């Protein structure tokens, strides 16, 4: 790809993420997990209560990719036929071959979502592990290469059973999904009613599967480059040791997968190099227990000194806001430039929310964000008066 093609592909990736999270309230992190899983070609699990838009988010991702999608809720009595397809009676009668019709089932899917995945019983576990690990499905006397990009799953528990631990280990990305916070409930109600009345508006595909494969190749290329970066690898190794010293059990395999997640984050951010901030992706990889989710994120923030970086970013954003405010004040009413400034404010507000989410309630950072949000509120009022925005 030349530079122009790369730039265009990156724009489409950002639009994909924006459209993916658009209908949902406070589900930016979940959308990030979906993005990182797709870019790295790995699998993910959302752990938490039902009714938090997990499957709807993944279904939307499949739609935006125009990917073949499979969804199923497992229970203790789920039969192999339900996931892998019914026995082909004609093949059995005519050739004596024990084969399944896999069209529309898991071995056929490019993106899949298995709800209550730890209800998987021994009758389906081995075949499921083969699909996850090797992307193969043994169908009678034939080995089928499955087109699966990523399998997403959900559970409200973390398994203790040894056989299910193997399944849990194959799910590289792990995220604890919480209900929408109190401050966002009214926004949730409005969005929920809109969906109840109209459904989630279907969108045209944003990325093609071929474009996703190109992005995955970028991840592989950067991963190859990073393995020669001794300075970064030393920093990464130190962080893995700190996780282990703090009681977070990380296998060597998971440590390697974590490096892939870090690189995928850099590609998601539009870079062909890694930065310390990319290590934040590890909060979606290293947790093993419920306690680990909060602990892992806190360790990363502390070790890479993120608050100081965020304060510098906020200082830059504040200067931008001051410039925009000055220019808005001097523009005449209904000037076309007011719309451009409205879009710029939206992007700054989005950036502030991202920093607020990642800074883990650092008091100094949060106070600065609140002040900037107040300034944005004032500027929206000016825009409302000048061009009838936000009304």
Please state the separation of Cα 73 from the chain's center in Å.
21
If one compares 357 and 263, the residue with the highest pLDDT of the two is 263
Q: Are residues 88 and 149 in the same domain?
A: yes
* C-alpha triplet 266, 307, 285: angle, nearest 5°: 45
Q: What percent of the chain has pLDDT over 70?
A: 97
Q: What are phi and psi of 21, to 5 degrees?
A: -90, -10
Say whether pLDDT at 109 is over 60. yes
Looking up residue 138, the CATH number of its domain turns out to be 3.40.50.300
Residue 175 — pLDDT band, cuts 50, 70, 90?
very high
Q: Mean pLDDT across the chain, nearest whole number?
A: 90
Closest CA to 158 of 315, 48, 282, 277: 48
* pLDDT tops 70 at residue 390: no
Cα–Cα distance between 203 and 206 in angstroms, integer?
8
Same domain, 64 and 159: yes
Domain membership flag for residue 204: no
Number of separate domains in the chain = 3
Q: Give every CB contact of residue 226 below 8 A, 6+ residues apart in sequence.
A: 232, 233, 259, 262, 263, 274
34 CB-contact burial (10 Å; exposed 0-12 / middle 13-18 / buried 19+): buried
Secondary element (H or E) of residue 46: strand 44-48
Cα-based distances in Å from 44 to 112, 152, 154, 216, 284:
10, 5, 9, 16, 9
Which residues, other chains included, contact 227 with Cβ-Cβ below 8 Å and sequence gap of 6+? Answer: 233
Residue 203 lies in a domain: no
pLDDT of residue 389: 54
The distance between the two most distant Cα atoms of the chain, rounded to a whole number of Å, is 82
Residue 350 has pLDDT above 90, yes or no: no
Q: Are residues 311 and 297 in the same domain?
A: no
**What does pTM read for this prediction?**
0.81
Under DSSP, is residue 91 helix (H, G, I), strand (E, B) or coil? helix
Question: Is 299 in the same domain as 314?
Answer: no
| Co-location of 68 and 31 in the same domain | yes
Supply the range of the domain harboring residue 163. Answer: 3-198
């Amino acid at each position: 790809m030349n530079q122009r093609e790369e730039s265009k592909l990156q724009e489409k990736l950002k639009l994909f993420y924006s459209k993916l999270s658009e209908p949902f309230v406070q589900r930016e992190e979940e959308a990030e997990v979906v993005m990182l899983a797709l870019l790295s070609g790995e699998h993910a699990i959302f752990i938490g209560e039902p009714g938090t838009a997990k499957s709807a988010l993944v279904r939307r991702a499949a739609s935006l990719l125009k990917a073949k999608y499979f969804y199923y809720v497992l229970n203790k009595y789920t039969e192999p036929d339900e996931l892998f397809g019914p026995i082909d009676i004609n093949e059995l009668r005519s050739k004596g071959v024990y084969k399944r019709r896999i069209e529309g089932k898991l071995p056929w899917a490019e993106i899949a979502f298995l709800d209550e995945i730890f209800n998987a019983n021994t009758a389906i576990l081995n075949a499921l592990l083969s699909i996850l690990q090797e992307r193969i499905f043994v169908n009678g006397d034939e080995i089928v290469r499955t087109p699966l990009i990523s399998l997403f799953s959900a559970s409200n528990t973390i398994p203790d059973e040894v056989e299910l631990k193997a399944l849990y280990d194959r799910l590289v990305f792990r995220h604890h999904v919480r209900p929408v916070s109190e401050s966002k409930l009214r926004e949730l109600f409005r969005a929920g009613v809109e969906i109840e009345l109209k459904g989630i508006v279907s969108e045209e595909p944003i990325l093609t599967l071929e474009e996703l494969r190109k992005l995955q190749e970028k991840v592989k290329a950067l991963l190859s480059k990073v393995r020669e970066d001794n300075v970064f690898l030393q920093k990464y190794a130190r962080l893995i040791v700190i996780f282990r010293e703090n009681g977070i059990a990380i296998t060597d395999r998971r440590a390697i997968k974590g490096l892939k997640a870090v690189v995928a984050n850099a590609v998601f951010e539009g870079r062909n190099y890694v930065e310390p901030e990319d290590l934040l992706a590890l909060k979606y990889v290293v947790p093993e227990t419920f306690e680990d989710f909060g602990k892992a994120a806190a360790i990363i923030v502390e070790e890479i000194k993120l608050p100081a970086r965020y304060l510098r970013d906020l200082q830059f954003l504040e200067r931008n806001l001051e410039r925009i405010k000055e220019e808005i004040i001097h523009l005449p009413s209904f000037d076309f430039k007011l719309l451009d400034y409205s879009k710029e404010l939206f992007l700054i507000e989005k950036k502030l929310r991202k920093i607020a989410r990642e800074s883990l309630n650092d008091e100094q950072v949060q106070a600065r964000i609140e002040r900037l949000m107040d300034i944005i509120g004032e500027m929206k009022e000016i825009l409302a008066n000048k061009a009838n925005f936000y009304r």
